A and B are shown apart, each in its own frame.
Chain A
């Protein structure tokens, strides 16, 4: 079974600085997808970024970028120029290749990293 591990329960960053959140996963599949979700105090889950395993290029969305190391099964999230609004729980999630059936396409979440941003 696939697992997702976020080894940092809490992280802190100074406003305008850069922070990296770690995520590792375990799978025997070669095709899959990885996601980072943000959950602010409102508790609304928001997609931050996604990565297809078959793509070697790391995904980027404005200030958010990932370092995807397929061989190491690592998927870290880098937040540049941190803002107060970035304070939230961040969840890493894995999704297997889904062939229109079965549970392999369901999301598997890590336990999350709580990010604090200091002004």
Chain B
């Protein structure tokens, strides 16, 4: 079955540690996205990549980093510079161009204490 996987579902880290969230897709999509979801805030775009080896900052990129070395993978690193990292993180992918919808993974809940 084609889809997007995110692992792990729940992640716990101590403050000051970097943590990497995994996102893999087998939909053959060129574009991939990372969103952060907080209560009452909807989804906010962190980073996006429209093609391998290229990515762009979204609306709230500070304290985050990404890489796109393979078409299937778009890992997100939450660095210690991110002031409020506890949140629900969603990865998505889509075909490029036009009105193609984004398909979402199941998400990762990150808790930093």
Contacts and interface: CB of A to CB of B under 8 A. Distances in A.
Interface string A31-54: 001010100001111110010100
Contacts of B98: 98
Contacts of A42: 106
Interface residues of B, number: 24
Contact of B106 (A43, A52, A110): A43
Contacts, number: 51
Contacts of B42: 91, 109-112
Contacts of B56: 103
Nearest to B56: A103
Contacts of A43: 88, 106-107
A48 to B, nearest CB: 10
A50 B33 contact: no
Contacts of B75: none
B96 interface: yes
Nearest to B99: A33
A58 to B, nearest CB: 16
Nearest to A91: B42
A119 interface: no
Interface string A62-82: 000000000000000000000
Q: How large is the interface on A (under 10, 10 to 19, 20 to 34, 35 or more residues)?
A: 20 to 34
Interface in A73-119: 91, 95, 98-101, 103, 105-107, 109-112
Contacts of B25: none
Contacts of A91: 42-43
A111 B40 CA distance: 6
A106 B58 contact: yes
A44 to B, nearest CB: 5
Contacts of A98: 96-98
Nearest to A103: B56
Contact of B101 (A47, A99, A106, A112): A47
